[in-house]
Amino acid sequence: MGGRFDISIVANDSLTAEQNIDTCIAEITRIENLISDWKAETQIGQVNSNAGIKAVKVSPEVFRLAQRALHLSKITNGAFDISFAAMDKIWKFDGTMTQMPSPKAVRKSVENVGYGNVMLNAKRSTIFLKKRGMKIGFGALGEGYAADRCRSLMLERGIKAGIVNGSGDMNTWGKQPNGDDWAIGITNPMRKDSIFAIVPLKQGAVVTSGSYEKFVLFNGKRYAHIINPATGYPVTGLCSVTVFGPSAEIANGFSTSIMVLGREKGLKLLRQFPQYSSIMITDDGKVLSSPNIDVSKFKL
């Protein structure tokens, strides 16, 4: 999925652990071959190839994932947009960018983005993109979904503890061999070589979205790699958002959305989902949290 997966399994012997890790790897690969928007032969690749032409039938699993992604697009008013994959990559964060893109280029970069043009037909299990040039993609939602699926598979197979980390989308269950909860470190965005908090997790997911790794500076202002799908401009205000909850897929959608929405709208969104909580760090280093999380419990 374009990222790194780290899988740890607690088992009675190394052979059992290795076999179950192989099962997770096979499941991750299976999901990638269903939903990757980089591979033309996947179901989502076919949906994108037929944008503006015809609806494409997909499996029930892919359809349900698209339904959830479209629902997230709607409840966040496009802060997360399932059609963001069509965005022109005019912002470069590899050191090659020497000037700001023009306002015209920015407007053009999002002209094919718009979740309102994604048509789902539940009876036929089809997806249709109304405009030519449109694309849909699940971004890190796919990695979160894969992490969720691995946890479910392991529990079904009797594996009582483990952790799956899909490029920062972490899903845990059970305890470490010494009986301790899993300890998840959250990077301090102000000092990337240090940990801001260590969070104990028994069975749940934690996902962090941040703008502190990839960015460019123009006229003293930082422009980071998380782009607002509605405007085409990098988000500002928050440099790190960590979301906790039962699903890595949903937590990722929320963390990305809150980066775009900002503090107030982000907290308003989370209030509708009391199973999820968040820690946010502003560009100037202020630490904020949703009301249902006690920051004082963490190792700061």
Mean pLDDT, to the nearest integer, of 65-72? 96
In the predicted structure, residue 297 carries a pLDDT above the cut 80: no
In single-letter form, the type of residue at position 55 comes to: A
Return the percent helix, strand and coil in the chain, to nearest 5.
35, 25, 40
Residue 221, pLDDT score: 78
Beta pairing partners, 224:
215
Tokens standing for 24? 């997770």
Contact predicate 58/49, CB 8 Å: no
Contact predicate 190/226, CB 8 Å: no
Mean pLDDT, to the nearest integer, of 47-54? 98
Domains and CATH numbers, the chain: 43-129 (1.10.3980.10), 181-297 (3.10.520.10)
Give residue 149's pLDDT band: very low, low, confident or very high (50, 70, 90).
Answer: very high
For residue 104, give every residue at least 6 positions away whose Cβ sits within 8 Å of its Cβ, in sequence order, or none: none
In the predicted structure, residue 299 carries a pLDDT above the cut 70: no
Residue 27, pLDDT score: 97
Q: Residue ranges for the binding site for Mg(2+)?
A: 140, 256
pTM of the predicted structure, to 2 decimals: 0.92
Q: Residue ranges for the binding site?
A: 140, 256
Phi/psi at 244 (5° precision): -110, 145
Tokens standing for 85? 């994959």
For residue 127, give every residue at least 6 positions away whose Cβ sits within 8 Å of its Cβ, in sequence order, or none: 47, 55, 56, 58, 63, 66, 118, 119, 120, 121, 136
